Amino acid sequence: MAFLFRMVPVRWGAKMTPVLFLSIYVLSAAFSNAMTDSEWTEWLQYIKKTSSSRAFLDSKVSLPSSQVRFTEDSCLKASTVVTVNGTNVNTQHRFVSKDGSGNFTTIQAAIESIPKHNEIPTLICIGAGEYREKVQIRKTRRFITIIGSSSGNTIIRWNDTASTISPQTSLPMKTYNSPTMSVNADFFVAWNIIVENDAPPPQQGQIDGQAVAFRISGNYGALYNCKFLGHQDTLYDHKGRHYFKHCFIQGNVDFIFGNGRSIYKDCYARALPIEYESVGAVTAQKRGFSNFDSGFSFLNCNISGDGKVYLGRAWGNESRVVFAYTWMGDVVVPEGWNDFGFPARERTVFYAEYECSGPGANNSTRVSWARQLTPDEAQPFLSVGFINGEEWLLDI
């Protein structure tokens, strides 16, 4: 990671183009660095419009006629009767165990046993242990629920990075293909799993050292009591509506990033130190255009650890992140937010906080272009309406 001449840490790989820095600084000088009040009001009206059960849902993804909320107790049975399009179907559970006592010894084998274009809710129960494999759920395998051991010892590990050579293409994988676990299918649910990319942290000056633990690109995904462990780019919240609850996310540089529209509720973000620079970032939200319905909302979360971090860096021109009722340790730097080296983005991003606490929540020296929300302004971000959860989320 390099530094701009005003000591703003910059992004490696595809997220930054260093040769543009000087021209961007010059061109942006003519612009105001903050939204006007009228522009801010327009933002809030737009958010309210898209944050409710009656808001627009993606036409390309049809909601199922019925859904099943599998629980840990479901793993005590061999099957579950579910109703699909008015017909009762007996769905067989898959059991994965390292000791051979289940149907499968690898997670990927259990996934591949599910028919393509699956429309039946399917449960995969995974026993305790370390599963050293790269797990991929393709777009055609919807309605999968994965439940790990209640002991918290179901661990999925791999170590690809953006520079790892793909055996399929003989080219570098890039960030998108580096995850230990990737989910491209809709209606994915996970409980009690730990997903780690244990590649070494990138060294100073290293290119394409990003190492994603988990990527979710499908719509309507929910994850509970899960842990995501890495360094740079730990959790790739790529696209779609997602709900993370009671999850632990660990990293240092932009360790929650992407263009998803997601709620993080009761989650813990742990900032790791960076040996070669002073400040990392919790988020790098990529919303690039005003008509993109994406953004991150953090509710009742905790930010602490050993490293120094911004709450977010503006990966996208119209990046959108809100922290509400969140405890912030002194790992959060006083300015709070960073423009990613593009000052013009300071008037188009939506970065805000509401009723946060802790030493890192002191807003007296926050950047001028971030906001402290009023109760009315914060309302769209405080419920599952932000992700249209009334329509698809099963635990509300």
Residues 354 and 380 sit within 8 Å (Cβ to Cβ): no
The CB density around residue 59, as the number of other CB atoms within 10 Å, is: 6
Q: How far is CA 213 from CA 226, 287, 314, 320, 387, in A?
A: 12, 21, 22, 23, 23
Q: Give CA–CA dist 262/256, Å, rounded.
A: 11
List the catalytic residue out of 160, 186, 208, 233.
233
Q: Can you tell me whether residue 50 is helix, strand or coil?
A: helix
Q: Give CA–CA dist 350/43, Å, rounded.
A: 8
The CA-CA-CA angle for residues 22, 27, 29, to 5°, reads 100
Residues 95 and 103 sit within 8 Å (Cβ to Cβ): yes
The CB density around residue 85, as the number of other CB atoms within 10 Å, is: 9
Amino acid at 253: V
List the catalytic residue out of 208, 254, 293, 339.
254
| 8-state DSSP, 21 | H
Strand partners, 129: 154
Q: Give CA–CA dist 78/34, Å, rounded.
A: 58
Note if 254 is an active site residue: yes
Note if 293 is an active site residue: no
Residues annotated catalytic, as ranges = 233, 254
